[in-house]
Structure 1
Amino acid sequence: MDLVASAIADPVRRDILEMLRHGPMPAGAIAERFAISRPAVSRHLRVLRESGLVRDDAVGRQRVYALDAAPLADIAEWIARFGTPPEWERRLDALETEVHRTRRDRRASPELPEENTA
């Protein structure tokens, strides 16, 4: 579990996992989405592979990476011990309501600055 927790501690690696949720991707396509060097992305992919969160296959001259979310189950179980999901869901629902209310108020009130969505 520590290896997986360490792997997901980095925001670049979390972004890679998010990308791979939608399906396998070649290493080059993953690297293109980041402002860091390709060797740096390769190091992140190696950490994810060593933690078991991704697997890679050679397809021609490319390495294609795919998500393996199974190792996240232990972390999910551990986190679940610290709070009941309904409490988290209630808090997230309240946050979503407030975000929608703020957006609505900004559209309705010209004196409030527009939200930057970039």
Structure 2
Amino acid sequence: MDKSRLYRHAKELRQQSTDAENLLWYHLRGRRMWGLKFRRQKVIGPYIVDFVCIEAGLIIEADGGQHADRCLRDSERSAFLEQRGFEVLRFWNHEILLETECVLRQIWEVLDRRG
């Protein structure tokens, strides 16, 4: 996918967020987490990541059911991002929706360790 199509697709994804993405975005936006700026549906290389904090080097992915069949592709994607200095956290949508505090605590712990 060429860069202009990738950026258009990222914009579409921002407009069609899942409930889990919306809930997580509520807690990440506006520098609510450690005063750090998070962006959503950000293009990094050939990928669009769900959430990223550039200054902390943290990427957060909200995975739906389609990811159950894409383990190899997701691990290749994570390896690409990790080679560029990012730590990648993955959460299933149901975890974000049903165990929100636990998810936020895990993000907080990573930020604390990387900060």
- Scaled to the shorter chain, the TM-score interval is under 0.3
Considering only CA atoms, is the larger Rg found in Structure 1 or Structure 2?
1
Q: What TM-score, normalized to structure 1?
A: 0.26
Q: What TM-score, normalized to structure 2?
A: 0.26
